[in-house]
Chains A and B, each alone.
Chain A
């Protein structure tokens, strides 16, 4: 299957991205100073990438804005957000979100 091959190649590309980013300032033989503006830009970019990937996953269905409130994703995001406000972290909000998501999905078919 060509789409499997494409995915496999993309995954190897991602592995290369891992190596390049982890070793970035370890590649040169001599120490390199990071310019100030670059350091600031580098801080925002990961956040931007995550937000850009997450937002459509939450509010779009097949490329259209959600047009019903009976979607398990919305209560899940609300629960995860509230949990984060109460106790910041990754795992707590994830579990709280799933606790809201799964019953609605499985019992009500949202």
Chain B
């Protein structure tokens, strides 16, 4: 990696920063909400700071909060977060053509900093789909901008939330944010089915110990989603060849 000063002057780095600036208001609002929600759902300020600075994955953080508050075991919390984060597994395959040439340690470190937005913005800026000079500086510029906007506002939210009385119930802001995220993933019949099954199973199995209702709900929903998906494709195949 070039020295920092050379990087700041790199036009590709600057373009990476500029393209990300459009999204800074959204990222900032999201960071603020997550910061407040972390403390208001019961994390102490130092633990909330630790979470923000090490986990760096908004939806997974929000999803883990109710589980942490209920004292769920580490394995269950991590399993739920893993599922929420599975989209990054797909993204990592999409980053591969552009980062695969880096030494392993460096590509792993860089990928940790790459959120959903980074991929969307990158794909728009480099529509060619193949490795080109300047891409790395561009990626680093976007990643640094996103990280600063997120951490700055998340830390601000954590510190501010001490001033907000707990009886306002602002931990619920995290649930409302997750609700919007969930709606955004409802694209067809199989996703609707999966969401309904997951919601119903999580509520019905709530009495299970160790927050295992979350694990049961995810397993049931993925199974239902795959079955619906298969039925849907079989139906379409029949339509094509009656």
Q: Which residues of A contact B (CB under 8 A)?
A: 3-4, 6-27, 29, 31-32, 34, 37, 39-60, 63, 65, 72-73, 76-77, 80-81, 84, 88-94, 97-98, 101-102, 105-106
A13: contacting residue among B33, B78, B95, CB under 8 A: B78
Dominant SS among interface residues on chain B: helix
Q: Which residue of B lies closest to A59 (CB)?
A: B203
Instruction: Flag if A41 contacts B226 (CB, 8 Å).
Output: yes
Q: List 18 A-B contacts (CB under 8 A).
A: A11-B55, A12-B50, A15-B56, A16-B78, A24-B89, A26-B104, A26-B107, A39-B90, A43-B191, A46-B83, A46-B87, A46-B185, A51-B198, A56-B202, A65-B203, A90-B180, A91-B180, A101-B169
Closest CB in chain A relative to B161 CB, distance in Å? 14
Contact between B183 and A88, CB atoms less than 8 A apart: yes
Point out the residues of chain B lying under 8 angstroms from A44, CB to CB: 190-191, 194, 221-222, 225-226, 229
Chain B residue numbers with a CB within 8 Å of A21 are: 82, 85-86, 88-89, 92
Measured as residues with beta carbon below 8 angstroms from the partner, the interface class of chain B is 35 or more
Whether A31 lies near B96 (C-beta < 8 A) is: yes
Nearest A-chain residue to B74, judged by Cβ: A10
Q: Say yes or no for B120: interface residue by CB 8 A criterion.
A: no
Q: Which residues of chain B are within 8 angstroms of A52 by Cβ–Cβ distance?
A: 80, 198-199, 201-202, 213-214, 217-218, 221
Point out residues on B near A: beta carbons under 8 Å. 26, 29-30, 33, 43-44, 47, 50-51, 54-57, 59-61, 63-64, 66-68, 71, 74, 77-78, 80-93, 95-96, 99-100, 104, 107-108, 111-112, 114, 167-169, 172-173, 175-186, 190-191, 194-203, 206-207, 213-214, 217-218, 221-222, 225-226, 229
Q: How far is the CB of A17 from chain B (nearest CB, A)?
A: 5
Min distance, Cβ A16 to any Cβ of chain B, angstroms: 8
Residues of B contacting A45 in the complex (Cβ-Cβ under 8 angstroms):
83, 86, 218, 222
| Nearest CB of chain A from residue B68's CB, rounded to whole Å | 6
Tell me whether B217 and A10 are in contact (CB under 8 A): no
* Complex contact A72–B169 (CB within 8 A): yes
Does A26 contact B83, Cβ atoms closer than 8 Å?
Answer: no
Contact A14 B221 (CB under 8 A): no
Q: Which residue of the partner chain B has the closest CB to A32?
A: B93
Closest B residue to A39 by beta carbon equals B90
Q: Are A4 and B90 in contact (CB under 8 A)?
A: no
Q: Which of A14, A37, A48, A58 has the largest count of B CB atoms less than 10 A from its CB?
A: A48
When distances are taken between beta carbons in the complex, the residues of chain A under 8 Å from B201 are 52
